[in-house]
Amino acid sequence: MNAVLPSILGAIGKSPIVKLNRLGEGLAADLYVKCDFLSPSGSSKDRMVLHLVDQAEKRGELKPGGTIIEATDGGTGGALAMLAAVRGYRCVFVLPDKVSHEKIAALKAFGAKVVVCPTAVEPDDARSMYAVAKRLATDTPNAFYANQHHNLDNPGAHALSTGPEIWEQMEGQIDVLVSGLGTGGTLMGAGRYLKSKKSSVKVVGVDPVGSIYYDLAKSGRVTKPFAYKVEGIGADFLPSTIDLAEIDDVVRVDDKECFLTTRELVRLEGLFVGGASGAAVAGALQYARASQKKENIVIVLGDRASMYLSKIFNDDWMRENGFLEDDGLGMVANLLKDKSDAIIGAHPSDRVRDVIARMKAHGISQLPVVEDGRLLGAVAEVDLLRYLVSGEHSLDSSVGPLAESDYATVSPRTSIENLQGLLNNARMAIVLDEGSKIVGVVTKIDLIDYLAKRAS
C-alpha cells in the first residue's frame, strides 16, 4: 500500500499551482497561484509547523506529553492543533479578539484551549496576545512556546519545501513571488531559495493598511499601527523572522479590496480561499498593473474560505462594515478633491525658524519632512514647542532631527471609515500613491470638514 500515508501529516506539501484566468485578464503578466490553502488544516502554516515541531523535538525543547503554546490569529494555531492531535500533545492558543468564530471553533474541535485577548493594544502590553502567550509558556510545566515570529525554523521550512516546489512546478520560469507579509516566513524562506536558483526573481510582500511593514520598507520608520479587519497578515512590530532588505517591493492593500478580491477568487476562479489569500492576489494585481511587464508571477494562497463564512462571505457583515457599499463615506481620494491647498512640507535641512514661519503662514500645525521625494517623518507644533522650551537649541538648527513617526500613511483608495479610525491614534495621515509619492496630508479638521460638507 505505497499510496497510503502513515498519518494526515504526510499530506502536507505538494500543493498545486494553477493559473488565474479571469482575474488576470488584460495584464501583460501571467498570474499563477500556489494553492497552499489545500493543505490538511487549510493553511500554508502546515509546512512551517511540521518543520518547527520536528526541530523542537530533535533539540529536546518539546517533550512527550508537553503542551504547545502559541500566539496566533488562527492559521498557525490550526496547524499546531492538527499536529498535536496526531502526536499526543496538549495545546493552548492565544488569539486576538478580531478573529472569526470559525477559527476559534476549529481550534476547540481539535481539543485546544483558546484564550482571547484584545487586538488594539501594544505588543508589549501585558494584555497583548504575545505577552499572555509568553506568560502561559513560563507558568505551564513542560511547555513549548512555538514563537513563530522569532523562530528561524519558520522561514527554514519554506526554504526546504515551498521554494523547491515552486521552482520545480514552474520549471524555473518564475519572475516574481508574491505573498502576504505576516511573520515573513514564506517570503524569506521560499524567496531565498528561488533567488539562489535565479537571482533575478523578485520577492514582493503584500501589507494591509494599518500594518507597519509598508512604511518601514519605504521610509525606514515604524509608524503608528492601527486596527484592520483582514486576518493572517500585517504586524504592529517587526519579527526577527523577516528581513525587509531581502524584499524587493512591498505593496499595500486595504480591507475592502482584500475582501472583494477574496470573493472574486471564489466566484470567478473557483478558489475557495480566505482574506489573506485575497490580499495577496489584490497586491499582485496592483504590482502587475504598475509593472506592465510580461512575466510570470506566482502568488501563495495560504488560507481557506471556510474560516471566514461568518465574515467575508456574509453579506450582512460585509455591508455593516462598509465593504459592500459602492462608496460608503467615500475614500481618501474624495476628501483630497475638496482640499484646495497644496502639500506643504519641509526638507530635513530647513531651519527650524523657517518651518515655524511656514506653518504660521499656511495656518497648519504639522507637516511632512521629505527628501528627494522620500518621506522621512513628520514634524508638528508639539515637537517644535518641546524643542524650544528646552532652551538648548537654536532656531537656525535643521529640522530633520525633530522628525517623528507619530503619523499614519494611507493610499487614495483608503476608506473614510478606516481614516477615521487611524486619526483616533495618529496626529495626521500622509497620503501616498502606489509609487510612495506624497499626494496629500489629512488631519482631523480636514476629516471633520469633509464629513460636515457631506451632511449639509
CATH number, domain containing residue 389: 3.10.580.10
Do 163 and 190 touch, CB atoms closer than 8 A?
yes
Please tell me the distance from the alpha carbon of residue 38 to that of residue 308, in angstroms, as a whole number: 15
> Catalytic: which of 34, 45, 224, 229?
45
Give yes or no: residues 407 and 382 share one domain: yes
Give yes or no: residues 218 and 280 share one domain: yes
Distance set, CA 371 to CA 151, 365, 366, 400, 403 (Å): 36, 20, 17, 10, 12
pLDDT for the residue 203: 98
Q: What is the dihedral of CA 215, 217, 221, 223, to 10 degrees?
A: 30
pTM for the whole thing?
0.88
Please tell me the distance from the alpha carbon of residue 128 to that of residue 46, in angstroms, as a whole number: 25
Residue with grid cell 501585558, as numbered in its chain = 126
Known catalytic membership, residue 45: yes
Give yes or no: residues 299 and 213 share one domain: yes
Those residues of the chain that have pLDDT short of 50 are: none
pLDDT for the residue 327: 59
CB crowding 216-238: b at 16 or more within 10 Å, else e: bbbbebebbbbbbbbbbbbbbeb
Among candidate residues 57, 58, 74, the one with its CA nearest the CA of residue 66: 57
pLDDT for the residue 365: 85
Please tell me the distance from the alpha carbon of residue 203 to that of residue 287, in angstroms, as a whole number: 11
Give yes or no: residues 147 and 256 share one domain: yes
Give yes or no: residues 38 and 141 share one domain: yes
Please tell me the distance from the alpha carbon of residue 359 to that of residue 440, in angstroms, as a whole number: 16
Residue that finishes a domain, picked among 325, 344, 366: 325
Give yes or no: residues 236 and 369 share one domain: no
Q: What is the 3-state secondary structure (H, E, C) of the chain?
A: CCCCCCCHHHHCCCCCEEECCCCCCCCCCEEEEEEHHHCCCCECHHHHHHHHHHHHHHHCCCCCCCEEEEECCCHHHHHHHHHHHHHCCEEEEEEECCCCHHHHHHHHHCCCEEEEECCCCCCCCCCCHHHHHHHHHHHCCCEEECCCCCCCHHHHHHHHCHHHHHHHHCCCCCCEEEEECCCCHHHHHHHHHHHHHCCCCEEEEEEEECECHHHHHHHCCCCCCCCCCCCCCCCCCCCCCCCHHHCCEEEEECHHHHHHHHHHHHHHHCCCECHHHHHHHHHHHHHHHHHCCCCEEEEEECEEHHHHCCCCCCHHHHHHCCCCCCCCCCEHHHHHHHCCCCCCCECCCCEHHHHHHHHHHHCCCEEEEEECCEEEEEEEHHHHHHHHHCCCCCCCCECHHHCECCCEEECCCCEHHHHHHHHCCCCCEEEECCCCCEEEEECHHHHHHHHHHHHC
Please tell me the distance from the alpha carbon of residue 296 to that of residue 274, in angstroms, as a whole number: 23
Among candidate residues 233, 222, 210, the one with its CA nearest the CA of residue 423: 210
Please tell me the distance from the alpha carbon of residue 311 to that of residue 332, in angstroms, as a whole number: 24
pLDDT for the residue 60: 97
Give yes or no: residues 276 and 396 share one domain: no
CATH of the domain at 117: 3.40.50.1100
pLDDT for the residue 79: 97
Indicate the length of the chain as a whole number.
456
Distance set, CA 96 to CA 229, 252, 301, 312, 338 (Å): 11, 22, 22, 18, 37
pLDDT for the residue 341: 64
Residue that finishes a domain, picked among 296, 325, 354: 325
Give yes or no: residues 94 and 227 share one domain: yes
pLDDT for the residue 193: 98
Give yes or no: residues 10 and 116 share one domain: yes
Could you report how far apart the first and last alpha carbons of the chain are, in Å?
74
Give yes or no: residues 369 and 311 share one domain: no
Give yes or no: residues 354 and 234 share one domain: no
Please tell me the distance from the alpha carbon of residue 423 to that of residue 410, in angstroms, as a whole number: 11
Number of domains in the chain: 2
pLDDT for the residue 195: 98
Its domain, for residue 401, covers 332-455
Please tell me the distance from the alpha carbon of residue 152 to that of residue 146, in angstroms, as a whole number: 11
Residue that finishes a domain, picked among 273, 301, 325: 325
Give yes or no: residues 318 and 342 share one domain: no
Residue 376 burial (C-beta neighbours within 10 Å; 0-12, 13-18, 19+): buried
